[in-house]
A and B are shown apart, each in its own frame.
Chain A
Amino acid sequence: MRVVVVGAGEVGYHLAERLSRENQDVVLIESDPERADFAGQQLDVMTVVGNGASLPVLEKAQVKNARIVLAVTSRDEVNLIACLAAKRLGVEYTVARISNPEYYSRGSVLSREQMGIDLMVNPERECARETFQLLKTPAFTDVADFADGRVQLIGLKVKKGAPVAGRTIADLRAEELAGGYHYVTAAIRRNGRTQIPTADSTIEAGDHIYLLAPTNEIPDVPPLAGYDRFRLRRVMIAGGSQEGLFLAELLEDNGIECTVLDRDRRRCVELAERLPHSLVLHADATDLELLEMEGVSGIDGFVAATGNDETNLLSSLLAKSVGATNVVSLVHKFEYIRLVPRVGIDASVSPRIAAVNAILRYVRRGRVMTVATLSGIDAEAIEFAVHAKSAIANKALRDVRFPKQGVVGTILRGNEIILPRGQDVVLPGDDVIVFAMPAAIPEVEKLFG
């Protein structure tokens, strides 16, 4: 399948990298020759230098033969025009990265449908959504939604003395009837290596485990891995960036008390007008005295969300030093993301990675519906729709030759959520969430094809 990516910035580059690793034919359009060169050398993609909004450039990239166009430059208007042009040229799916809410809000002059854009991704909003997930469940290092959010994939570290520590998967599953651990363990990461577990794999303290659980049971998971129960009540956001504002709005919608700091007085007034239930303070994100005065040590979550990575990291560390827990830092530069766990900050979010995730999730729709790429590991969770012609249809799972590097996580049948066992049969019309290493994905796709 040919995919055209417009823009080789961090989002575009990352997308191209992931897609090409999955054996898609990627064409990358980039206006800066140096960046295009760099991408061409690093990745197995074809590069075209030029403006993605111009027709000759799009033609040179053979957009006509592409199934999908992903317009992800940092400029909304270029992305919109590239998508409009691509649709006219007969491209099936178009995805635009849009930051300005005026373009995608309901009050927009031209709606998404009228412009023929299949998906608009707002990196800031995606990032806020991800941050909210992280805040809600501090024990989780990763959270991804499936089936419209009815099932979630979560990643968490197993603590010493946790109920699941030192047990085999088969052991744990045997307890299912007693109402204990009945979740599907999708992957275990130990010492930097990811492994898809079999029945006799053991879970050890210190392991990073990934599992699938129905959303309503999510609060039950952390205690199994040795964590206390947690409820998010108060959050402080240092920095009133667009991400910070979206996050505060999300928190308000969920009835969580929220304090927002910003250095710029005018931005503060804007924030205060947009956020009726939050407390907006005119202060610097690194003003330690103020953080303490406003009770940073008593809050359930701290988010550093200024537009500046260095300030965010510093502010997170300062907050941490005066007793803040559940500290999340907004990081734009990919290079810095690796730093976050090393300096002791609990988690990081990046608007660009969030956008990449959202786009990848969409790209594989059709046969493949939802994909979650997890920051720490190589495996991916994918949602498949089962057709009558699918090889896997109407067979009990234990009779399917499923690749070793993959596992069926959940079967969704109408409103029912089935955590599968060997005797369960996959029926046409079901949606199935599969967890697999990238190398096994083509093989898995064949089973559902």
Chain B
Amino acid sequence: MSLRSVANVVGVLQVFVALAMLPAGAVALGYGDGDARGILLAAGITLVVGSGTYRLTKRAGAQKHLTSREGFAIVTSAWAMAGVFGALPFLLTGTIESPAAAVFESMSGFTTTGASVFADVEALPHGILFWRSLTHWLGGMGIIVLVIAVLPYLGVGGMQLFRAEVPGPTPERLGPRITQTAKLLWLVYFGLTVAETVLFVLGGMTLFDAVNHSFATLATGGFSTKNASLAAYDSAYIHWVTIVFMYLAGVNFSLHFKAATGRPAYFRDQEWRFFTLIIAAGAAVIAAANLWSGDYGALEPAVRDALFQSTSITTTTGFVSADYELWVPGSQMVLFSLFFVGGMAGSTGGGIKTMRVLLLLKQTANELRKHLHPRAILVTRVGQQPVKEDVLANVVGFVILYLLLCAGGALLLGIMGNDPLTAITGTLATVGNVGPGFGLVGAADHYGWMSGAELSVLTFLMLAGRLEIYTVLLLFHPETWKARKSYH
């Protein structure tokens, strides 16, 4: 592996992160809250370090071909870099003092987790609020995908990076060139963001809040500009708009692209049907339980809050429209189960991903059937398409790794003195990039009370979860670092 070319590409990406801080600086200047200086300083430092790295590692001559190992290394280091340098605005404006907490907040933003260390976000200056939302928005569709879309520099070897950042079990290209695919995905993403902002403003939200919440919705992030999240808005309209867009963000973006070009294929997509069914079924059970227990008196609010929460958790957004920890245990358990689903492959949502859950269920059903017909050759298929055995093996491996990671994280948090509920759901909420969990990290709580060590563990889990584990864990595999003879 050539560390030099890895550092070179990461340098380029860092320049992008620096440039991304400028809009936040502009917002800060506009509102004059006094945070502009810190943000611009952070942008400056990031820019200098990034461009310095790029220049120092630049190689004269032809473009370097990237191997898939280098691809993994680049993506993981780029995200770690974004997490660290994205923390600078918090530190330099003095809004967060502990570096571990600042990196946690920044990583939570980029990985679209939405777990926050701030007890009172409403007291934060506008520039910082905007930076938090912007990290969501950039991380949602993927920083690297964005760079691939706008910079021909990564055209060569871009596929390696694209695959490492948007792994999913079934990669789909929208055009012959990777740049094209990346562009189209960002176009859909951008269009949906604008649409939601407009709808929010029409519903009476201020433009600033509307933009921030749209960024957080489409990225399935969860950062809000209000302490009470979306519950701060006593408007059914705003809640319904949020439900719809959280849902859209959890759907495979290539399906949106197809619909936008007049070839809607939602119903034909089995993963979509499954995803929609899960959300609807979860919401139905919750609404029924809440009405039955008397928590809700009227039908519409009960259905709305149930749908809001089931969509929010399943798509791994993490917005809250009601404190679900006050609901009956049955409703809470349904939400807890939804932590294991995640968005569709190719969406901005995290988690295990619906496609993997679907494949795993089908595979399990086949194993059962095999007991009835020992000689049967059974093919697992999604829709009409048969799924190859190595893809299935990969899915099984992924889910096992995912659960191991959750178990390991919960174990560490427990050892550090957290109660089991907080340890388990806190881990699930960070690995799955959801945000809020139960217990001390519940709907109305935040992560600010945790120690630096605890936050660092969760920061790693968020990164591993966002990059779908393999990409990150490969860096810890000894063979990745073994020297191979190069014949270039």
- Min CB distance A380 to B, Å, is 42
- Interface locus among A5-13, A264-272, A416-424: A264-272
- Min CB distance B370 to A, Å, is 11
Chain A residue numbers with a CB within 8 Å of B376 are: 279-282
B381 within 8 A of A: yes
In the complex the two chains form, is B379's CB within 8 Å of A282's CB? no
B378 within 8 A of A: yes
In the complex the two chains form, is A273's CB within 8 Å of B375's CB? no
- Min CB distance B486 to A, Å, is 38
Contact with A along B373-410 (1 / 0, CB 8 A): 10111110100101000000000000000000000000
In the complex the two chains form, is B377's CB within 8 Å of A276's CB? no
Chain A residue numbers with a CB within 8 Å of B377 are: 265, 268-269, 271-272, 280-282
Q: Which of A254-291 contact B (CB under 8 A)?
A: 265, 268-269, 271-273, 276, 279-283, 290
A59 within 8 A of B: no
A228 within 8 A of B: no
**Complex alpha-carbon distance, A313 and B475, angstroms:** 61
Given contacts A273-B386, A276-B384, contact A294 B379 (CB under 8 A): no
**Complex alpha-carbon distance, A271 and B375, angstroms:** 14
**Complex alpha-carbon distance, A271 and B376, angstroms:** 11
Chain B residue numbers with a CB within 8 Å of A268 are: 377
**Complex alpha-carbon distance, A271 and B386, angstroms:** 11
- Min CB distance A292 to B, Å, is 13
Chain A residue numbers with a CB within 8 Å of B375 are: 281-283, 290
**Complex alpha-carbon distance, A280 and B373, angstroms:** 9
- Min CB distance A236 to B, Å, is 12
**Complex alpha-carbon distance, A283 and B375, angstroms:** 7
In the complex the two chains form, is B381's CB within 8 Å of A276's CB? yes
In the complex the two chains form, is A272's CB within 8 Å of B379's CB? yes
Chain A residue numbers with a CB within 8 Å of B381 are: 273, 276
Closest A residue to B380 by CB, please name it.
A272
Q: Which of B360-375 contact A (CB under 8 A)?
A: 373, 375
In the complex the two chains form, is A281's CB within 8 Å of B379's CB? no
Q: What is the total of A-B residue contacts with beta carbons within 8 Å?
A: 30
**Complex alpha-carbon distance, A282 and B375, angstroms:** 5
Chain A residue numbers with a CB within 8 Å of B373 are: 279, 281, 294
**Complex alpha-carbon distance, A290 and B373, angstroms:** 10
The number of residues on chain B lying at the interface, defined by a beta carbon within 8 Å of a beta carbon of chain A, is 9
**Complex alpha-carbon distance, A265 and B377, angstroms:** 8
Query: Which of A265, A273, A283 is within 8 Å of B379, CB to CB?
Result: A273
Closest A residue to B389 by CB, please name it.
A269
Closest B residue to A283 by CB, please name it.
B375
- Min CB distance B380 to A, Å, is 10
Given contacts A279-B373, A294-B373, contact A272 B384 (CB under 8 A): no
Chain A residue numbers with a CB within 8 Å of B384 are: 276
- Min CB distance A2 to B, Å, is 47
**Complex alpha-carbon distance, A276 and B375, angstroms:** 17
**Complex alpha-carbon distance, A269 and B387, angstroms:** 11
- Min CB distance A266 to B, Å, is 10
**Complex alpha-carbon distance, A269 and B380, angstroms:** 11
Closest B residue to A284 by CB, please name it.
B375
**Complex alpha-carbon distance, A294 and B373, angstroms:** 8
- Min CB distance B310 to A, Å, is 31
**Complex alpha-carbon distance, A280 and B379, angstroms:** 9
- Min CB distance A257 to B, Å, is 13
Contact with B along A403-425 (1 / 0, CB 8 A): 00000000000000000000000
Closest A residue to B377 by CB, please name it.
A268
Closest B residue to A266 by CB, please name it.
B377
- Min CB distance A293 to B, Å, is 8
**Complex alpha-carbon distance, A265 and B384, angstroms:** 21
Closest B residue to A268 by CB, please name it.
B377
Chain B residue numbers with a CB within 8 Å of A290 are: 375
**Complex alpha-carbon distance, A282 and B379, angstroms:** 13
Chain B residue numbers with a CB within 8 Å of A271 are: 377
- Min CB distance A281 to B, Å, is 5
Chain B residue numbers with a CB within 8 Å of A294 are: 373
Contact with B along A230-268 (1 / 0, CB 8 A): 000000000000000000000000000000000001001
- Min CB distance B278 to A, Å, is 23
Q: Which of the listed residues B377, B381, B384, B386 has the most CB atoms from chain A within 10 Å of its own CB?
A: B377
**Complex alpha-carbon distance, A273 and B373, angstroms:** 17
- Min CB distance A275 to B, Å, is 9
Chain B residue numbers with a CB within 8 Å of A281 are: 373, 375-377
Q: Which of B39-61 contact A (CB under 8 A)?
A: none
**Complex alpha-carbon distance, A282 and B370, angstroms:** 12
Closest B residue to A273 by CB, please name it.
B386
**Complex alpha-carbon distance, A281 and B370, angstroms:** 10
- Min CB distance A283 to B, Å, is 5
- Min CB distance B466 to A, Å, is 34
Chain B residue numbers with a CB within 8 Å of A265 are: 377
- Min CB distance A350 to B, Å, is 28
- Min CB distance A274 to B, Å, is 9
- Min CB distance B134 to A, Å, is 46
**Complex alpha-carbon distance, A439 and B378, angstroms:** 55
Chain B residue numbers with a CB within 8 Å of A272 are: 377-379, 386
**Complex alpha-carbon distance, A294 and B376, angstroms:** 10
Contact with A along B312-324 (1 / 0, CB 8 A): 0000000000000
Closest A residue to B369 by CB, please name it.
A279
**Complex alpha-carbon distance, A290 and B376, angstroms:** 11
**Complex alpha-carbon distance, A283 and B377, angstroms:** 10
**Complex alpha-carbon distance, A197 and B386, angstroms:** 55
Closest B residue to A267 by CB, please name it.
B377
**Complex alpha-carbon distance, A294 and B374, angstroms:** 10
Closest A residue to B384 by CB, please name it.
A276
Q: Which of the listed residues B373, B375, B381 has the most CB atoms from chain A within 10 Å of its own CB?
A: B375
**Complex alpha-carbon distance, A281 and B369, angstroms:** 12
**Complex alpha-carbon distance, A276 and B381, angstroms:** 8
- Min CB distance B168 to A, Å, is 22
**Complex alpha-carbon distance, A380 and B310, angstroms:** 68
- Min CB distance A57 to B, Å, is 45
Chain B residue numbers with a CB within 8 Å of A282 are: 375-377
- Min CB distance B378 to A, Å, is 7
Q: Which of B246-291 contact A (CB under 8 A)?
A: none
Chain B residue numbers with a CB within 8 Å of A280 are: 376-378
Q: Which of the listed residues B376, B384, B386 has the most CB atoms from chain A within 10 Å of its own CB?
A: B376
**Complex alpha-carbon distance, A281 and B379, angstroms:** 11
Chain A residue numbers with a CB within 8 Å of B378 are: 272, 280
- Min CB distance A85 to B, Å, is 39
- Min CB distance B334 to A, Å, is 32
**Complex alpha-carbon distance, A290 and B375, angstroms:** 9
Closest A residue to B386 by CB, please name it.
A273
**Complex alpha-carbon distance, A269 and B376, angstroms:** 10
Contact with A along B102-121 (1 / 0, CB 8 A): 00000000000000000000
Closest A residue to B378 by CB, please name it.
A272
**Complex alpha-carbon distance, A268 and B386, angstroms:** 13
**Complex alpha-carbon distance, A276 and B378, angstroms:** 9
- Min CB distance B19 to A, Å, is 48
- Min CB distance A220 to B, Å, is 37
**Complex alpha-carbon distance, A280 and B381, angstroms:** 14
- Min CB distance A185 to B, Å, is 46
- Min CB distance B407 to A, Å, is 35
Contact with B along A80-113 (1 / 0, CB 8 A): 0000000000000000000000000000000000
- Min CB distance B224 to A, Å, is 45
Closest B residue to A272 by CB, please name it.
B379
Closest B residue to A260 by CB, please name it.
B377
5 more CB-based (< 8 A) A-B contacts, given A271-B377, A279-B373, A290-B375: A273-B381, A276-B384, A280-B376, A280-B378, A294-B373
Closest 9 interchain pairs by CB?
A268-B377, A272-B379, A273-B386, A281-B375, A280-B377, A272-B377, A283-B375, A282-B375, A282-B377
Q: Please name 6 pairs of A and B residues whose Cβ atoms are closer than 8 Å in the assembled complex, sorted by A.
A: A272-B377, A272-B378, A276-B379, A279-B373, A280-B377, A281-B375
Seen from chain A, the residues whose Cβ lies within 8 Å of a Cβ on chain B are 265, 268-269, 271-273, 276, 279-283, 290, 294
Seen from chain B, the residues whose Cβ lies within 8 Å of a Cβ on chain A are 373, 375-379, 381, 384, 386
